[in-house]
Every structure is written in structure tokens, then in C-alpha cells.
Structure 1
Amino acid sequence: MENAVFIGLSQQMALKRQLDITANNLANVNTTAFKSEHPLFEEFLVDNFDKPDMSYVQDYGSYRDLREGEMTHTGRPLDVAIAGEGYFTIESDQGVRFTRNGSFRLDPDGNIVTINGERLLDETGRSITVSLQFQDVSFAPDGTVTTGEGQTQKIELVRFANPQILKQVGDGLYDAEGADPEPATDAKAMHKMLEKSNVQPILEMTAMIDIMRAYQSAQKLIDSEHDMQMQAIQEMPTVQ
């Protein structure tokens, strides 16, 4: 009799995970270059000896929607979007990280940094620095950075054979977790533009409604099984 309860609870646990991911997608609908995530479920069969196998729901991971978000023109000289498959290389306090969020600024030393102060790196692994006397900066499609005094560096744009392995570590940054990046030869830097989030709010809201309905259905199953157990307990002394 308890099998239905266990199966219903496994479904609810998976639905809770799906709801958390959907809510996070909606919370980042306006986050620059954010990529929506979606859970992955599979059937988990338990051998029930001479009885039919029990089928549970197992949440075993998630995948990231890598489709490019809409490009928007901002006019800001330190905004750069990536068209195509690629990531900026960033130096953070925790080591090298990667991002598609190209909303940069200058720190007091003239380094091009993210909004949280992580430095943008060039192809040689050095920080990209701009003279504070010549703050006119331009970015060529190949990532070449040119300032008013003519100094040039080139942004390190990279890609990964399997970008799904990248782990989100917050603030739009990803950890490669040991995977080796390779040059993103097909990616282009789009100056004075930013990539919007690829979250589709209508679809996410619809998914949230479906999740809540599925959760309620599972709860009805659990409640029904509980009522049957209580009724059996009440009638058992009479049968004896």
C-alpha cells in the first residue's frame, strides 16, 4: 500500500527541482546573456521480486539552452556582445572564469573589468588595459581592442567542445572545471551591443502552471492512499 506514496513523493521531489529551475529562469529574464536551464528526468525501476517493478521519477541533471539571445544596441563604448559560440575569458579571485556578459567598465587603473571587478583577459592571459587619458575604445569583430593612442590588444574569445560541462558560479560567470578551451574562430565581437537573456517568460510561466498542476495531482494520489490506509486501520479490528 505504501508504494503509491513513495512513487508520488519521488514525483513531487522531481517537480520541486523543476520548479526551482523554472523560478530561477524567470528571475533572470533581464540578466545579460543569461542562458535558461531545464531539468532532465528519467524512469527509475525498482525490482519488486515477484510483483511488477515499481517505476519512480529520478532527477539526474539539467541542461542549458545555448541558443543566442537577442542582440540590443546600447551605444556604450565598453559594451561587447558575442555573436556565435564563444565566451570572454575573465580573471576572478577564484581563478580563470568564462562569461558571455560583455557589460564592461574601467577600474581606477584602466583595466577593462566586469561590473564586479573581474579583469577581462587578452590572448596572452594579460589584463586588457586602457590609458585613462585616451578612453576612446573600439572593439573589432575579431576581438582586437584599439584605444585613442593606438595601443591594441586582442580579447581572448574561446569555445568548448561540450559547453554543457560549464558550471554556473554566479554573476554570469562559468567554471570550466578542468576542461580545456579552444579559440572561438567563428565568434565575432559586436561593439556597443549586449546579448539579452534567452529566457522566454511566457513559456516559463506556462511550465510553472503545469508543474503546480502535476504536483497537486501527485498530492491527491498520496492523500487518497493515506485515506485508504486509515480506513483499513479502522476496519481491521472489526474483521478480526
Structure 2
Amino acid sequence: MIYGIYLSAEGAHAQDYRLNVIANNLANVDTIGFKRQLAICQARYSEPAARGLSGVGAADMENLSGGVLPAVSKTDLTPGPIKQTGSPTDFAIRGDGFFAVQKDNEVLLTRAGNFSLNSRGQLVTQFGVQQYPVLNDNLQPITLDPQLPWEVTREGTIRQAGVVQNLAVMKPASADDLVPVGENLYRTTQPPQPVPLAERQVAQGFLEMSAVQPTLAMVELLEASRLLEANLNMVQTQDQMLGALFNRVLRSA
């Protein structure tokens, strides 16, 4: 009976984790370049198996299911829709790759290309109150003269008054390497690799919108909410049954 309570409690914990991840996705449905997170849960070993007291997969009572365990959240790299803005400091990447920005002497990645020029002529991000320099292929801040015309090629090459700078477009080895650090930025567990110029597709005057699909996210939210409620009801039911059993034992003693 207590084992059943533990299983239901683990199920409730896993669904609560899913709810938080899905709610964060919905909160960013209008965030430029946002990639939705996927809540990953996995089967949990029974307590004896986890402690090494019983062989995993053994056909005995010690290997009853341990329920589910919230593991990690992973980034879904599905691209969001591209919207034309006409702003010369807006950029969208079609296909693979992330823009590289500098925060506290660290190179981070983002798909949000809604940039602007600060007072020093640096191309910077616009997420929140903080502004972080956008980097070129040499991982140096991109600086432009706002008084002079400039152009951007399909490969992300910025030309102004004879000066050529390539936007740093980089990609992780896999989606598993991306770690969200807030402000629509990602850190990579392995060094990211530059996307070759011939494979880059950078569109000036466009933005990649959020990849979150509101209808799908709402369905997932309702599903997780109902599963959480079902597990909590199971905990309550089993607790009541256990209490009734104890009362019977005490009355017969």
C-alpha cells in the first residue's frame, strides 16, 4: 500500500515538472527566436535495484516498477516562422545556426536576431534591460558607423565603407549540448562549431518568431494537469485505505 503511494507521488512530481516546462513555453509564445523546451521523463528503477540489492530486470517482487522520474529538459530546434520587419538591424537565420553574443566574457548562443546599435555603434541584443555585443567570426564585437550605409549578404557578411565583418553563426554538436541560461541565451557543454559561409542563410530585415505552437502547448498543459490531478487523487485514496486498515487493526487488537 505504501509502495503505491510512493509510485503515485513520483507520478505527481513528474507531471508537476512537465507543467512548469510547458508553462514556461507558453509564457514565451511571443518571444523572438524562442525554442520550446521538452520535459523528458524516464522509468525509475525499484529501490532494491537502484541500491544494487537486486538485479535489474529480475522476475521477482524486488523489481516492481519504480514509477517515473523527471530527468532533464531538452531544446527542440524546430525553427519558428519568419516574419519580415524591414528593420536593418533585424536578422533571421534560415536553417541551422545561432548568433554568437558576449556576456561576461563568455560566448553564448541565441536565435533572437532583434538587434540594435548602441551609443558606441556596437550591434547588441535587445532582450530585457541588458545589452550584449553581437560577435563576428573572430569573436569580436561588431561595430558599425550609424551615419554610413551598410549592407548584409545572404551569408551574413556585413559590408560598410570597405570594411567586411562576418556575423558569427555557430551551431552545437547536438541539441543535447544546449543549456538555457535565461534571456533567450544558451550555453553549450561542448565548444560550438562555426557554420561554413557557403551553408549560411541570414536574412536582413526579418525575424524568427517563437517556435511555440500555442494550441499544442495548451493541449499538453491540460494533459499534464489532468495526470497530476489523477496521481494526487491516487495518493489521497491510498492514504484513506491505509488509514482504514490501521483503524481495523487497532480495533481488533
TM normalised by structure 2 equals 0.89
Cα-Cα RMSD: 1.6
Name the SS for the 2:112 alignment partner.
Answer: coil
Deviation at 1:208, TM superposition (A): 0.9
Tell me what 2:147 maps to. Answer: 133
AA aligned opposite 1:37 = Q
Superposed counterparts of 1:75-224, under 5 Å: 75-115=86-126, 116-134=130-148, 136-147=149-160, 149-177=161-189, 179-185=190-196, 186-224=199-237
Distance 2:40 2:102 in 1: 32
Question: SS of 2:45's equivalent?
Answer: strand
Partner SS for 1:23: helix
Q: CA deviation at 1:45?
A: 2.5
Displacement of 1:138 after TM fit?
A: 2.2
Out of 61, 70, 80, which is 1:51 matched to? 61
Instruction: Measure the CA separation in 2 of the matches of 1:8 and 1:25.
Output: 26
Following TM superposition, by how much is the alpha carbon of 1:52 offset from its aligned partner in structure 2, in angstroms?
Answer: 5.4
- Structure 2: stretches of 5+ with no match in the other structure: 55-59
Contiguous gaps of at least 5 residues in structure 1: none
- Note the alpha carbon deviations across 1:30-86, whole angstroms, 9 max, x for none: 001111011111111214876253321111112211011100000001000001110
- The answer to whether the 8 A contact 2:28-2:34 is kept is yes
Q: What residue number does 1:72 align with?
A: 83
Instruction: Return the alpha-carbon distance in structure 1 between the equivalents of residues 110 and 120 of structure 2.
Output: 22
Residue of structure 2 in register with 1:225 after alignment: 238
Q: SS at the partner of 1:145?
A: strand
2:5 aligned partner? 5
Q: TM-score, normalised by structure 1?
A: 0.93
Asked whether the 8 Å contact 2:33–2:111 carries over to 1, the reply is: yes
Q: CA–CA distance in 2 between the matches of 1:89 and 1:238? A: 71
The letter of the residue matching 2:19 is: L
Larger proportion of strand: 1
Provide the C-alpha distance between the structure 2 equivalents of 1:188 and 1:35, rounded to a whole number of angstroms: 19
**Deviation at 1:236?**
1.5
> In 1, are the aligned partners of 2:76 and 2:175 still within 8 Å (CA)?
no
CA contact (8 A) 1:99 1:172 kept: yes
CA displacement, residues 131-188 of structure 1 (integer Å, 9 cap, x when unaligned): 1321x332111111123x34321111111221321111111111123x1222212231
Q: Percent identity?
A: 27
Q: Deviations over 1:2-44 (max 9, x none)?
A: 1111001001111111000000000000001111011111111
Q: Secondary structure at the match of 1:58?
A: strand
Alignment match, 1:35:
35
